[in-house]
């Protein structure tokens, strides 16, 4: 019996599946930078000057980057940079740094200056194509411009991994700030690329991420792990892995997300929908943008063709309202598949759904 470990929040869970029920384990075979290449690319930043790092998301790649930056500062005998991070990830950032390191709450960009260096790992995004430092800043601080970005969508389905007009809005937004960014592209094998410069230009490594693709035959059933905790801390984050993979599922097929979602819904639009304060019809031409509006739109469109389940700690009330099936664990989801699709049904597994794009052959 094959034993497959899949990420679920801060831990991994095991999927015990009979060999005759395992169709395909879908993983990315991508190249990575070695430690010397990665270190040399970071040398373009002068840490001898006053530098303040702002950590926008926390992953193993971000952790490695911070550790390397601190090592460089120690070797050169210069002060380590101050660090700001969102409250939700402060403890994670602090836990893997020297005990004397200060990590403060990042609250805004009203008083930005050229000493700020934003650090983030790129992912795929249904609206912008790619989730970059520019899009992260726009989503958080450019609510009015987000409506324009939403209106520029070409379809009501995700455009993950594609060039979009919405990205122009994000780049224009950050152009008004004199800041630097360290943008990282990574997958479960390691760091694939890094770009340093203004956030309107570092998204050039999206060309590297666009290669995180795999063509597969369409499957009847797909079990999707996001691959890392940062990508399933909320439902809003977990859904990105579905946007990356839904094109590889047959009509009337089944996709099951493995997403702990200990941080809750993570989408104001989905919350309002569950509470009956927003309708699907309103998503077509809204008067204002509500955070996560595109995810609710994509979910409603994709559910016209496939069924969606999720393994999560979210209350069943929310999941039922979203027309999804809730499972308590991986075993229960596998039992459901075999019960509804037959004891001989083969299941395909995606182990790093947040950082792979699937498409039909």
CA distance 12 to 25: 16
Q: Three-class SS string for the chain?
A: CCEEEEEECCEEEEEECCHHHEEEEECCCCCCCCHHHHHHHHCCCCCCCCCEEEECCCCHHHHHHHHHHHHHHHHHCCCCCEEEECHHHHHHHHHCCCCCCCEEECCCCCCCCCCEEEEEECEEECCCEEECHHHHHHHHHCHHHHHHHHHCCCCCCCCCCCCCCHHHHHHHHHCCCCCEEEEEEEECCEEEEEEEECCCCHHHHHHHHCCCEEEECCEEEEEEECCCHHHCCCHHHHHHHHHHHHHHEEEEEEEEEECCCCCCCCCHHHHHHHCCCCCCHHHCCCCCCCCCHHHHHHHHHHCCCCEEEEECCCCHHHHHHCCCEEECCHHHHHHHHHHHHCCCCCEEEECCHHHCEEEEC
In the prediction, which pLDDT does 357 show? 95
* Fold entry, domain 35-209: Rossmann fold (3.40.50)
What's the half-sphere exposure (Cβ side, CA atoms, 13 Å) at 268?
7
In the prediction, which pLDDT does 247 show? 94
Residue linked to tokens 């995606």: 350
Alpha-carbon torsion, ordered 359, 240, 122, 90, to 10 deg? -160
In the prediction, which pLDDT does 123 show? 94
CA distance 235 to 315: 12
What homologous superfamily does CATH list for 3-27+212-360? LarA, C-terminal domain (3.90.226.30)
User: What residues does each domain of the chain span?
Assistant: 3-27+212-360, 35-209
Q: Considering Cα of 31, then 34, then 35, then 39, what sign does the dihedral take?
A: negative
CB proximity list for 165: less than 8 A, separation 6 or greater? 152, 154
Q: Are strands 190-197 and 180-187 parallel, antiparallel or unpaired?
A: antiparallel
Tokens of 311: 């393994």
pLDDT in tens, the chain (361 residues): 567 899 998 899 988 888 899 898 999 888 899 999 999 999 888 877 888 899 999 999 999 999 999 999 888 888 888 899 988 898 889 888 888 888 899 887 766 777 889 999 999 999 999 999 999 999 999 989 999 999 999 999 999 999 999 999 999 999 989 999 999 999 988 999 999 999 999 999 999 999 999 999 999 999 999 999 899 999 999 999 999 999 999 999 999 999 999 999 999 999 999 999 999 999 999 999 999 999 999 999 999 999 999 999 999 999 999 999 999 999 999 999 999 999 889 999 999 999 999 987 6
Encode pLDDT of 271-288 as tens digits: 999 999 999 999 999 999
Q: Would 3-27+212-360 and 35-209 be classified into the same CATH topology?
A: no
CA distance 173 to 137: 8
């Amino acid at each position: 019996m094959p034993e497959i470990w899949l990420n679920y929040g801060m831990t991994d869970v095991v999927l015990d599946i009979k060999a005759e029920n395992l169709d395909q384990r879908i993983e990315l075979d991508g190249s990575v930078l070695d430690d010397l290449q990665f270190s040399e690319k970071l040398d373009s930043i002068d840490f001898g000057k006053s530098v303040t790092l702002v950590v926008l998301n926390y992953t193993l790649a971000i952790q490695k980057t911070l550790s390397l930056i601190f090592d460089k500062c120690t070797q050169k005998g210069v002060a380590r940079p101050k660090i700001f991070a969102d409250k939700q990830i402060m403890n994670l950032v602090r836990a893997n740094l020297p005990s004397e390191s200060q990590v403060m709450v990042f609250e805004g960009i009203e008083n930005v200056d050229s000493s700020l260096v934003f650090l983030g790992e790129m992912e795929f995004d249904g609206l912008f194509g790619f989730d970059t430092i520019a899009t992260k800043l726009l989503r958080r601080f450019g609510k009015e411009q987000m409506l324009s970005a939403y209106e520029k969508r070409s379809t009501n389905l995700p455009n993950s991994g594609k060039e979009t007009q919405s990205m122009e809005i994000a780049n224009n937004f950050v152009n008004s700030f004199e800041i630097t960014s360290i943008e990282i592209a990574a997958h479960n094998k390691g760091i694939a690329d890094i770009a340093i410069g203004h956030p309107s230009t570092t998204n050039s490594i999206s060309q590297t991420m666009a290669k995180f693709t795999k063509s597969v035959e369409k499957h009847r059933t797909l079990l999707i792990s996001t691959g890392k905790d940062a990508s399933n801390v909320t439902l809003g984050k977990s859904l990105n892995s579905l946007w990356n993979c839904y094109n590889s599922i047959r009509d009337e097929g089944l996709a099951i997300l493995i997403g702990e979602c200990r941080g809750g819904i993570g989408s104001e639009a989905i919350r309002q929908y569950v509470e009956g304060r927003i309708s699907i019809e309103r998503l077509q031409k809204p008067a204002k943008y509500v955070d996560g509006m595109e995810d609710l739109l994509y979910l409603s469109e994709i559910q016209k063709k496939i069924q969606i389940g999720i393994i999560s700690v979210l209350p069943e009330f929310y999941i039922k309202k979203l027309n999804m099936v809730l499972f308590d664990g991986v075993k229960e989801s596998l039992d459901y598949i075999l019960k509804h699709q037959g004891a001989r049904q083969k299941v395909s597994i995606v182990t790093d759904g947040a950082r792979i794009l699937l498409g039909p052959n």
